[in-house]
């Protein structure tokens, strides 16, 4: 047994059984060790941003970490953007970052870099396993650290010699941390404040948007408290039978207009809402002036226990509102995001997982699916576009029996387009939709909002994707996917319906 | 004038006139300010790894920095791998990394991250311009710092309010540092050591592989000193009329075998050669036992002056050997990298720029082009694959009158495939060749060398790209390129010849 064997044994012993990888020479021992542990599923990604985004999708659905296998600093670097998103989603991920052999580092070979510094901004925990015997213990620490709570990516640096040298260690089992219930003081304070408030609001985020927590939050709504969710939620239950809180508006001034008169905001599994970006003369904090704030449950705490205790303290009814099942009529005419949403709602099976990186088209789809069959939505939590395809890869690996739907803006899909290949390689049950408007639509809006004015010729060149227009069908077929372009609502409805009746990956370009 | 205007004015005043960009909301003021300075050419890249790799290619050819425009931490993160390569190439690059408004940072909005830490491993210089009036001065500092010598990427963090607030500053002109000649002591010491040595070697790297330095190095070869170059050189003159030093072998044991008996290594524009990776029981340092080493010219010094002084001190002839012009015969039969190299040599015009990210196929091509028309080769300096397409984008922007040839392994090309779009958008004169062997060929070799043994089923899944096989022609056409697949030497020869006679981007899949 060498260090690589010890690592994989410990990961598997801690239920880490999926590895999203793009290895290089320094990771060959890890790769070889996989053959000895078939419990670990290796999934090759042709770019590390796919691997880290897939690990995020896997972690959100499996509620346990996957590992990634990344090639030194540059390999990790390619994964940074989606690890940023994962950090913002509080998703447990164990990054295994290969490094030069310990004795080789001093020579500063071409691939050498300061990995420990590079990983810091997006790692809850960082250690380098500088001997083979240290590997198993540190791997167990890494898994435990990734759970938090509230959890997130961790980085275990694995020098090549720590992987290839003999290791005598047995697998080490990590203690899996639990989420404590909020204190009774926090519950009492929230109940008291809500009773005293004229227009109280509860804001849910993170774990408080899972199905179990939403069912309890609905009791608060029934008791007269308006319930909101964060704008971007890592994993939210939605659709028929599920309570749908209002969503915090993306643009700050709209959020504040909607919250006018609110005199109390209580946070559950989230914190003070802030504007996604700053704009000249617009507010940063999305809490109305004079409104009180308090936290019922920290992100690290159990929101279900907190919400139930609060509902009891308020004497709330035993249950609250939930969405009806109401499937839209078949849309007709030129395709747009709302029509696409209607078709998705019509045909999406129960328990589907929707990965949303559709930026400006996301709202249209969400409107349609509000009363669809029950499903879950994984959102872009950190604002780094290019997660919709990788998230779907990870979700599909975690839940092979659920249909996964990946919604993407064309600008976003291009970031990690390599994910399409892994979908085919692994025969994942994913329907990809790319909304092709051939522009960074959101930036056309933001250009005005930031006071930057109207785009002249140089500026316009940086917002537009239409010259040349990407042929998404040709691209997707290049990766081995069956693919179709839809320009009408009728065509999209038919293509999406067909995709729902078959297993395996398929691709729809929604020309909007 | 606002901070963004001040920034672009100062960049342009310092001859920074190309901006490889993928902006977001926090960069909209910079984008708007471009309209006021048409001297700055904005080039949209659909992924930041393309932008940073293009800035590297631009800097290597233009010998001045381009700027990049990147969206906060994740945007920079996507560019890390190619900035690693640029750092190893000592290429001047000014990264402009947008950030939240200074007052907004404290709220830790979703896109917030520790940019200053993230950029550190790959930045010679880092500053955040925390007021609009600071922007111009820091931009000038950034440009100066990027030149080094020996130069490299720098990072100027630009908070959104520093871009949008009024700035009263005039453009600031940076002092461009010069490369000093090596000291006469260093020259004397090298001359003395070489005279005393039985089998002396001079090793060239970096600036010492440019045409002017090679011409002088040839004098040393003529004087009986064997001249080598580093394995991976940022920009090397090659072909007819150019002196071709031996290349340090990639695999350490082969390098040492070749250097057997060498009792002196003198470094010019480079440092002690080390193995690219460590392997069990193989050496890290590629200097024979007992061999003396000394440095004639540091990377920061002028290699031409150093080489000339050394040649004079040795009484070397006034000129040395150079390659003849000898174009291969037209190859026939099943295509391989050597045949492709022969065709490239046959048809490549004088002064072409070859961007080499072809990993295992690169050697075959280099064999063919050794006696081709004079050209320059830009190599993968940092080992982070995915630079061949972006490098070509930057080189073509820097030198619109030169034919650019981009050589890529299929695994490598997939990393930053989005670059194909920018080639079409900007109508760049680039011929892309992707060597499609549908595997990470090098890793199949490395697997054995690291002692990891033969790949079993799990391991094999992480090395192979053949299931599904990527249809590169379909992919390239999706980006708007004309594209062709060649399976025979005859077909490749014809396709490559045709590409050389036309202007604009074209794509050849070399099925090997």
Q: Write the pLDDT tens digit of every residue in A49-63.
A: 999 999 999 999 999
B29/A452 touch (CB, cutoff 8 Å), yes or no: yes
In a domain, B23, yes or no: yes
Question: Distance from B132 to chain A by nearest Cα, in Å?
Answer: 14
Strand partners, A96: A69, A156
Give me the mean pLDDT over the A441-454 stretch.
85
Cα–Cα nearest to A408, from A438, A440, A436: A436
What pLDDT was estimated at residue B109?
Answer: 97
pLDDT band at residue B157, thresholds of 50, 70 and 90? very high
Instruction: Give CA separation, A307 vs A67, A185, A220, B184, in Å.
Output: 33, 13, 8, 78
Task: Tell which of A102, A130, A164 closes a domain.
Answer: A164
Q: Do residues A307 and A384 share a domain?
A: no
Q: Are B38 and A458 contacting, i.e. CB atoms less than 8 angstroms apart? A: yes
What pLDDT was estimated at residue B402?
Answer: 98
Smallest Cβ–Cβ distance between B80 and the set A80, A458, A478 belongs to A80
Q: Do residues A103 and A231 share a domain?
A: no
Count the domains in chain A: 3
What pLDDT was estimated at residue A453?
Answer: 80
Q: Write the pLDDT tens digit of every residue in A209-254.
A: 999 999 999 999 999 999 999 999 999 999 999 999 999 999 999 9
Give me the mean pLDDT over the A459-472 stretch.
94
Q: Do residues A421 and A503 share a domain?
A: yes
Q: Where are the beta strands (DSSP E) in A428-468?
A: 430-436
B415/A78 touch (CB, cutoff 8 Å), yes or no: yes
In a domain, A175, yes or no: no
Give me the mean pLDDT over the A55-79 stretch.
98
Find which of A29, A35, A86, A414 to mutate to test the B interface (most B CBs within 10 Å of its CB): A35
In a domain, A138, yes or no: yes
Q: Do residues B139 and B216 share a domain?
A: no
Q: Do residues A44 and A122 share a domain?
A: yes
Q: Which residue of B has its CA nearest to A109?
A: B276
pLDDT band at residue A328, thresholds of 50, 70 and 90? very high
Interface of A with B in 445-484 (CB under 8 A): 446-447, 449-453, 455-459, 461-465, 467-480
Q: Do residues A146 and A226 share a domain?
A: no
Smallest Cβ–Cβ distance between A46 and the set B74, B414, B421 belongs to B414
Question: Distance from A496 to chain B by nearest Cα, in Å?
Answer: 22
In a domain, B496, yes or no: yes
Smallest Cβ–Cβ distance between A278 and the set B101, B276, B474 belongs to B101
In a domain, B265, yes or no: yes
pLDDT over 70 for what percent of chain A? 100
In a domain, B170, yes or no: no
Sheet of strand B18-21: strand arrangement? B41-44, B18-21, B66-71, B93-99, B153-159, B126-128
Q: Do residues A370 and A506 share a domain?
A: yes
Q: Which residue of A has its CA nearest to B18?
A: A458
Look up the CATH number of the domain holding residue A231.
3.40.50.1220
Residue found under tokens 């939050």: A217
Find which of B5, B450, B482, B504 to mutate to test the A interface (most A CBs within 10 Å of its CB): B450
What pLDDT was estimated at residue B451?
Answer: 82
- CA-to-CA distance for B433 and B485, rounded, in angstroms? 10
Chain A residues close to B85, C-beta within 8 Å: 74
**pLDDT of A44 strictly over 90:** yes
Domain hosting A485: range is 337-511
Look up the CATH number of the domain holding residue A127.
3.40.50.970
In a domain, A325, yes or no: no
pLDDT band at residue A342, thresholds of 50, 70 and 90? very high
**pLDDT of A387 strictly over 90:** yes
Give me the mean pLDDT over the B404-415 stretch.
98
Q: Write the pLDDT tens digit of every residue in A114-161.
A: 999 999 999 999 999 999 999 999 999 999 999 999 999 999 999 999
pLDDT band at residue A38, thresholds of 50, 70 and 90? very high
Q: Do residues A15 and A123 share a domain?
A: yes
**pLDDT of A454 strictly over 90:** no
Q: Do residues B374 and B480 share a domain?
A: yes
What pLDDT was estimated at residue B453?
Answer: 80
Give me the mean pLDDT over the A39-43 stretch.
98
Q: Is B117 on the interface with A (CB under 8 A)?
A: yes
What pLDDT was estimated at residue B449?
Answer: 84
A120/B110 touch (CB, cutoff 8 Å), yes or no: no
Q: Is A116 on the interface with B (CB under 8 A)?
A: no
B152-189 in b/e form (b: 16+ CB < 10 A) is bbbbbbbbbbbbbbebebebbebeeeebebbeeebbeb
In a domain, A178, yes or no: no
**Contacts of residue A226, Cβ cutoff 8 Å, sequence gap at least 6:** A199, A200, A201, A202, A246, A262
What pLDDT was estimated at residue A450?
Answer: 82
pTM above 0.95, yes or no: yes
What pLDDT was estimated at residue A401?
Answer: 98
Q: Do residues A32 and A146 share a domain?
A: yes
Q: Do residues A350 and A496 share a domain?
A: yes
- CA-to-CA distance for B465 and B435, rounded, in angstroms? 13
Task: Tell which of A313, A345, A380 closes a domain.
Answer: A313
Q: Write the pLDDT tens digit of every residue in B72-101.
A: 999 999 999 999 999 999 999 999 999 999
Tell me what percent of chain A is helix, strand and coil, each rounded to the nearest 5. Answer: 40, 20, 40
Q: Do residues B485 and B412 share a domain?
A: yes
């Amino acid at each position: 047994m060498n260090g690589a064997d010890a690592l994989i044994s410990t990961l598997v012993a801690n239920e880490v059984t999926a590895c999203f990888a793009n290895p290089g020479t320094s990771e060959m021992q890890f790769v070889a060790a996989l053959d000895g542990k078939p419990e670990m599923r290796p999934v090759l990604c042709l770019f590390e941003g796919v691997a880290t985004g897939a690990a995020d999708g896997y972690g959100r659905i499996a509620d346990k970490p996957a590992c990634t296998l990344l090639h030194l600093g540059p390999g990790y670097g390619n994964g940074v953007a989606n690890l940023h998103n994962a950090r913002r989603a509080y998703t447990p991920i164990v990054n295994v970052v290969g490094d030069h052999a310990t004795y080789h580092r001093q020579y500063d070979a071409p691939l050498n870099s300061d990995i420990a510094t590079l990983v810091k901004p997006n790692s809850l925990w960082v250690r380098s396993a500088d001997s083979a015997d240290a590997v198993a213990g540190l791997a167990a620490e890494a898994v435990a650290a990734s759970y938090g709570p509230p959890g997130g990516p961790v980085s275990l640096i694995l020098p090549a010699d720590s992987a290839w040298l003999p290791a005598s260690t047995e697998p080490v089992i990590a203690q899996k941390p639990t989420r404590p219930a909020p204190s009774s003081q926090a519950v009492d304070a929230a109940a008291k404040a809500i009773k005293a408030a004229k227009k109280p609001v509860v804001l849910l985020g993170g774990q408080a948007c899972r199905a179990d927590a939403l069912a309890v939050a609905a009791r608060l709504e029934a008791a007269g408290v308006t319930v909101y969710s964060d704008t971007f939620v890592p994993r939210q239950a939605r659709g028929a039978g599920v309570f749908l809180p209002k969503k915090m508006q993306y643009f700050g001034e709209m959020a504040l207009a909607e919250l006018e008169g609110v005199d109390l905001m209580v946070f559950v599994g989230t914190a003070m809402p802030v504007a996604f970006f700053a704009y000249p003369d617009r507010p940063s904090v999305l809490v109305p002036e004079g409104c009180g704030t308090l936290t019922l449950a920290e992100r690290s705490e159990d929101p279900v226990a907190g919400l139930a205790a609060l509902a009891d303290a308020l004497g709330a009814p035993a249950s609250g509102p939930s969405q009806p099942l109401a499937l839209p009529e078949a849309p007709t005419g030129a395709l747009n995001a709302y029509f696409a949403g209607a078709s998705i709602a019509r045909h999406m099976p129960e328990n589907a997982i929707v990965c949303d990186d559709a930026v400006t088209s996301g709202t249209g789809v969400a409107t349609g699916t509000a009363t669809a069959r029950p499903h879950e939505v994984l959102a872009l939590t950190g604002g780094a576009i290019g997660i919709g395809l990788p998230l779907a890869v990870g979700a599909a690996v975690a839940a092979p029996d659920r249909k996964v739907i990946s919604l993407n803006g064309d600008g976003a899909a291009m970031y990690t387009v390599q994910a399409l290949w892994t979908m085919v390689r692994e025969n994942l049950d994913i329907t990809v939709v790319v909304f092709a408007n051939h522009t960074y639509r959101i930036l056309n809006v933001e250009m005005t909002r930031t006071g930057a004015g109207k785009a002249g010729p140089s500026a316009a060149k940086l917002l537009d994707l239409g010259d040349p227009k990407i042929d998404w069908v040709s691209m997707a077929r290049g990766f081995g996917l069956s693919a179709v372009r839809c320009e009408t609502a009728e065509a999209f409805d038919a293509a999406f319906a067909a995709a729902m009746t078959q297993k395996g990956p398929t691709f729809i370009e929604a020309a909007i």
